[in-house]
Amino acid sequence: MRTIVLGGDGFCGWPTALHLSVQGHDVLIIDNLSRRKIDIELGVESLTPIASIEERLMVWNHSSNHKINFQNIDIFSEYYSLLRVINDFQPDNIVHFAEQRAAPYSMKNSKTKRYTVDNNITSTHNLLTAIVESDLDIHLVHLGTMGVYGYSSVGMKIPEGYLNVKLDVPSKGLVDQKIIYPTNPGSTYHMTKSLDQIMFAFYAKNNGIRITDLHQGIVWGTQTPETRLDEKFINRFDYDGDYGTVLNRFIMQAAVNYPLTVHGTGGQTRAFIHITDTVKCISLACSNPPVNGKQVMIRNQVSETHRVRNLAELISNKTGVKIAYLENPRKEASENDLEVENNSFLSLGLEPTYLDEGIVEEVYEIAKKYSSRANLKYIPCVSKW
Ligand code: NAD
Ligand code: USQ
């Protein structure tokens, strides 16, 4: 299969590009390197020393039978370059990671809110129109988020995208309807993923584009079998208050003996997936496109759920680091349960990687190895809403 990976220089996109390449896909990465530029803007760096995309690919293309190409294109502002590459490359799949993905960054100020909406919405829409204009039968695989659902499961499992409801229609009685699960985003970033869903539903209905939307939980870990092959392939490890996500932050904080930054009571329950499962899910999604282009295929890309304070206790018990219960900088429920349906990937053969001592240990070892690169002043979450 021929696959374009949009955002293939990022935390999820880079290991996915390598994994698909090893699986036999002919891979082309498109990225505008905006994530690296945001690091410079914020004054932070990945905890792990990531090589430039050119170095990454030079070593990969030298050492592997599977070549990966790269094009530096901003899919927000360079529509015709995107269209030209799609027409030239003739992909079977386009995997779309290329969005601004940090909720705290999206909520910093009006500039970052507008950037997140402009970049994410226009980029996704450019991609959809480019697929239509190319007239090629391309399967679009998009990385969405569990956050589109909100996090309360009202006592039932959050289904995979759709809800079967009965409408009480006068004169007809109860009428069955299948609707998109009511969306309830908690940040400007999450809101862009809710808006993406509407664009996907329209283009699937109107143009018959085959679309898979993956509602992914919080990704943790850093390395995959492919990124371990060479130091130049090492994946990024975000730990700062904007881009670092909770479990990786706790593991990194333990490595530098920084009291674990639990927001509020830590009663928030969230869905998690290890990066090795992310790349496997993308491969499975590419191989199992929706048969009929009329309805978007939504899969929950989630291995397990955990409560934030339980994660903090687990890391604290293991390493002896203290826990700091901080005022929550976010507007979110202080306590919630969360049950999530994830049968879609299980039925395709995914064997989830569950949080266990060995895997936490591996991430901890990486964080320890590069701890001298950490700048502790960037740990606090300063974006408040
Ligand atoms: P990331 O920021 O590390 O990677 C995104 C990549 O897209 C970056 O390399 C960036 O330079 C590129 N990009 C952004 N805008 C672009 C544009 N206009 N044109 C070209 N390239 C552009 O993010 P990530 O953690 O790898 O997340 C990838 C996707 O997965 C995101 O859409 C995110 O919403 C989703 N996701 C991530 C997580 C997580 O925990 N990291 C969880 C659920 C969903
Ligand atoms: N939290 C802490 N302490 C911290 C950091 C976070 O208690 O130091 C709490 C937050 O308040 C929140 C929870 O942990 O309740 C998760 O926060 P997070 O930063 O780990 O994750 P989030 O902002 O939801 O975003 C991340 C990714 C995003 C993806 C989302 C999936 O950055 O791209 O879409 O996870 S999900 O959470 O399932 O919506």
Give 70-83 pLDDT, tens digit per residue: 999 999 999 999 99
**Within 10 Å of residue 137's Cβ, how many Cβ atoms?**
12
217 ligand 2 Cβ < 6 A: yes
Identify whether 383 is part of a domain. no
Residue 40, domain CATH: 3.40.50.720
Which ligand approaches the C-alpha of residue 305 most closely?
2
Strands 260-263 and 323-326: parallel
Look at residue 154 in the predicted model and tell me its pLDDT.
78
| Ligand 2: centre distance to CA 316 (Å) | 19
Residue-wise pLDDT tens digits, 363-376: 999 999 999 999 99
Give the residue among 69, 75, 1, 76 at the shortest CA–CA distance from 29.
69
Give the residue among 279, 330, 340, 276 at the shortest CA–CA distance from 305.
340
Identify whether 165 is part of a domain. yes
Q: How far is CA 221 from CA 9, 253, 313, in A?
A: 17, 14, 18
Which ligand approaches the C-alpha of residue 158 most closely?
2
Helix or strand or coil: residue 170?
A: coil
278 ligand 1 Cβ < 6 A: no
User: Is the torsion defined by CA of 263, 267, 272, 274 positive or negative?
Assistant: positive
| Ligand 1: centre distance to CA 13 (Å) | 7
Q: Residue 384 belongs to what H/E stretch?
A: none
Q: 107-116, 283-292, 357-366: which has the highest mean pLDDT?
A: 107-116
Q: How far apart are CA 315 and CA 309, in angstroms?
A: 10
Q: How far is CA 334 from CA 30, 150, 309, in A?
A: 39, 13, 11
Tell the residue nearest (CA) to atom 16 of ligand 2: 246
Tell me which residue range forms the domain holding 84. 2-378
Identify whether 345 is part of a domain. yes
Asked whether residue 153 carries a pLDDT value surpassing 90, the answer given is no
10 ligand 1 Cβ < 6 A: yes
Identify whether 385 is part of a domain. no
246 ligand 2 Cβ < 6 A: yes
pLDDT-based confidence at residue 208 (cuts at 50, 70, 90): very high
Largest Cα–Cα distance of the chain, in whole Å? 71
Asked whether residue 357 carries a pLDDT value surpassing 90, the answer given is no
**Within 10 Å of residue 1's Cβ, how many Cβ atoms?**
15
Identify whether 384 is part of a domain. no
- Residues marked as catalytic: 145, 189, 193
Which ligand approaches the C-alpha of residue 118 most closely?
1
Q: How far apart are CA 148 and CA 162, in angstroms?
A: 12
Look at residue 358 in the predicted model and tell me its pLDDT.
85
Asked whether residue 152 carries a pLDDT value surpassing 80, the answer given is no
| Ligand 2: centre distance to CA 245 (Å) | 5
Name the DSSP letter for residue 12.
T
Average pLDDT, the chain: 97
Identify whether 15 is part of a domain. yes
Identify whether 173 is part of a domain. yes
Give the residue among 69, 84, 82 at the shortest CA–CA distance from 122.
82
Total domains present in the chain: 1
Identify whether 140 is part of a domain. yes
Tell the residue nearest (CA) to atom 39 of ligand 1: 219
What pTM does this model have? 0.98
**Within 10 Å of residue 113's Cβ, how many Cβ atoms?**
18
For the chain, report the end-to-end CA distance as a whole number of angstroms.
44
**Within 10 Å of residue 338's Cβ, how many Cβ atoms?**
21
DSSP assignment string, 128-159 = HHHHHHHT---EEEEEEEGGGG-S--TTS-B-
Q: How far apart are CA 275 and CA 217, in angstroms?
A: 11
